[in-house]
Amino acid sequence: MPQVTFHKGGKTFRDEVADGANLVVRAGIKRFPFPHLSYGCGMGKCGKCACRVLSGAEHLPPPNWKEEQRLGARLAAGWRLVCQLWLAHDIELAQDNAPTEDARCTSS
């Protein structure tokens, strides 16, 4: 079972999840990483679930078109949309300073 280490607000949370678990789905039924994980649509549209992958990125599939559209250049900095990830390996994530808007809309 994958072990998830989740950093937010200067705190670290850690738990095991089932193979193939989706963290946004879990949070939606009030299971770890609830209530710490911020998320919204669950469909790759809002970007609120964006996290920086600190370790374990090598086990993830390539970003899908929704992540490419929402995260853009932030993909190269290690950001992923966790609603689009089904975990099969250990992963360490951070959600501090998570972007909640599309990078193309942050000029104001």
- Per-residue interface string for the shown chain with ligand FES, residues 38-77, x marking contact by CB under 6 A: -xxxx-xxxxxx----------------------------
**For residue 71, what are its two tokens?**
């995260």
In SS3 terms, 20-75 reads as CECHHHHHHCCCCCCCCCCCCCCCCCCCCCEEEEEECHHHCCCCCHHHHHHHHHHH
Site for ligand FES contains 83 (CB under 6 A): yes
24 or 53, CB closer to ligand FES? 24
Q: What's the angle, vertex CA 23, arms to CA 18 and CA 80, rounded to 5?
A: 120
Per CB under 6 A, contacts with ligand FES among 14-33 are 24
Shortest reach from residue 93's CB to ligand FES, in Å = 13
Shortest reach from residue 27's CB to ligand FES, in Å = 9
